Amino acid sequence: MKIIALGSGGWIPTSAKETSCFLIDSGESLIILDTGTGISRLEGYVDLLNKYEEIHIIYSHYHLDHIIGLCYIGNWAKGKVINIYGPGNNLINRACKDIMTTFLSPPYFISVESIGKRVNFIDYDLNGFQIGNIKINITEQIHTGKSYGITVGNYLHYATDTALSEETFRAAKDVKLLLHDCWSMVNVNSMDHTSLQDIIDLQSRFQVERVGLIHTNPNWKDADLLNIKNTISEKGSIVFVEDEMVFLF
Ligand SMILES: [Zn+2]
Ligand SMILES: [Zn+2]
């Protein structure tokens, strides 16, 4: 399993970091977690894309910094079947198909048909679902307008856009990598995002093997980044995720 960070930044793309998008090559399936502006980095992975006829996209939620890149994907996916999984009727009282079809229709974009050979929409719920032989589990998070954690087999738990939640760390207990939202150095009681201080506390309490900090704050300056990197450098088990970083399992 190969996980590539196409977009590791939060909210606003910067020259170094595009917004949320992670590409997973399981060897059997190609999965994309969220389609932020990071999807533009697919240009560097055309050989990988060419191995697959089908792309599976899973959404954590529908905030624009996580979906905007779906209108770019046709540039690389025109001949492919695209399966889109997102929270739907059971969780947020609106179907994924309805939300994303609206987003891709005029006056915002051309049409949903323009992005791939065929586009299928699947509402997920807290029972999770299966992509080939990989079990996808879904966990509730704490975020304005709701967001969901996504567990990919025994490898990855993706927890973008969430305030601190023990449920997230419980879900990540047995995976190799937890990719976790990190928005501030210390706890500021945010109802949307998490601090590094809280991540360090819960990682040791729940003994999560490895944590990657993602959806990082676009307003951080060099001094903030240095402070963060110094804080985590003693802990080999926490990594500041940069775009194009690759995790291999
Ligand atoms: Zn976000
Ligand atoms: Zn959000």
Q: pLDDT (tens digit, 0 to 9) for every residue of the chain, 249 residues total?
A: 999 999 999 999 999 999 999 999 999 999 999 999 999 999 999 999 999 999 999 999 999 999 999 999 999 998 999 999 999 999 999 999 999 999 999 999 999 999 999 999 999 999 999 999 999 999 999 999 999 999 999 999 999 999 999 999 999 999 999 999 999 999 988 999 999 999 999 999 999 999 999 999 999 999 999 999 999 987 789 999 999 999 999
Ligand nearest, relative to CA of residue 216: 1
Residues listed for the chain = 249
> What are the structure tokens assigned to 165, written together?
């939640």
Ligand nearest, relative to CA of residue 68: 1
Integer Cα distance of 99 and 124 in angstroms: 14
Ligand nearest, relative to CA of residue 145: 2
Q: What is the pLDDT of residue 140?
A: 97
Ligand nearest, relative to CA of residue 141: 2
Q: What is the pLDDT of residue 233?
A: 83
For residue 51, the CA-to-ligand 2 centroid distance in Å is 31
Q: Sort 30 into a burial class: Cβ within 10 Å, 0-12 / 13-18 / 19+.
A: buried
Q: What is the pLDDT of residue 98?
A: 98
Q: What is the pLDDT of residue 242?
A: 97
> What are the structure tokens assigned to 234, written together?
């003693």
Q: What is the pLDDT of residue 236?
A: 82
Q: Which domains does the chain have, with CATH numbers?
A: 2-248 (3.60.15.10)
Instruction: With 0.85 as the threshold, say if the pTM is over it.
Output: yes
For residue 162, the CA-to-ligand 1 centroid distance in Å is 9
List b or e across 70-80, with b for residues whose CB sees 16 or more CB atoms inside 10 angstroms. Answer: bbbbbebbeeb
3-class state of residue 103 by DSSP: helix
Q: What is the pLDDT of residue 66?
A: 98
For residue 1, the CA-to-ligand 1 centroid distance in Å is 25
- Amino acid letter, 48: L
Ligand nearest, relative to CA of residue 62: 2
Residue with tokens 């419980």: 170
For residue 161, the CA-to-ligand 1 centroid distance in Å is 5
> What are the structure tokens assigned to 236, written together?
């080999």
